[in-house]
């Protein structure tokens, strides 16, 4: 966004509507779910609770990192360790066990859209 000075006050350029018609605004929860499903080996299948929780955490970390907030991206491993999955693990149902790679892929996906 461009900045304009008016009498010592910095004014940010107003956000303008896009020239092309686009789909209506989507809820963030829908987008995070869509991103999380990209991490599943079988996104059309019913996922277990561990997979859902891990995928949402990783998608949220990617979303925030793409916006410049690295906090969750840097803390996700510790957070995953604290989940109580009742002895189950999400990794067999996810496309990778490399969480940094999963987050990086989702960041690219978000930035491309």
Residue 67: how many other CB atoms lie within 10 Å? 10
Mean pLDDT by 10 residues, the chain (113 residues): 52 52 79 95 91 95 91 89 92 95 95 89
CA-based end-to-end distance of the chain? 19
Question: What pLDDT is stored for residue 24 in this prediction?
Answer: 75
Query: Residue 7: what pLDDT?
Result: 55
Q: What is the pLDDT of residue 46?
A: 87
- In this prediction, residue 100 carries a pLDDT of 95
pLDDT at 113: 84
Dist CA 91 CA 95 (whole Å):
8
CA dist 53 and 20 (Å) reads 36
């Amino acid at each position: 966004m461009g900045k304009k000075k008016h009498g010592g006050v910095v004014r940010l350029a107003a956000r303008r509507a896009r020239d092309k018609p686009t789909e209506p605004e989507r809820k963030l929860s829908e987008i995070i779910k869509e991103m999380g499903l990209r991490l599943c080996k079988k996104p059309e299948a019913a996922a277990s609770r561990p997979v859902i929780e891990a995928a949402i955490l990783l998608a949220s970390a990617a979303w925030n990192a793409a916006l410049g907030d690295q906090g969750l991206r840097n803390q996700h491993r510790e957070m995953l360790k604290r989940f109580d999955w009742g002895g189950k693990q999400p990794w067999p149902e996810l496309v990778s066990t490399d969480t940094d790679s999963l987050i990086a892929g989702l960041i690219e996906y978000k930035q491309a859209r």
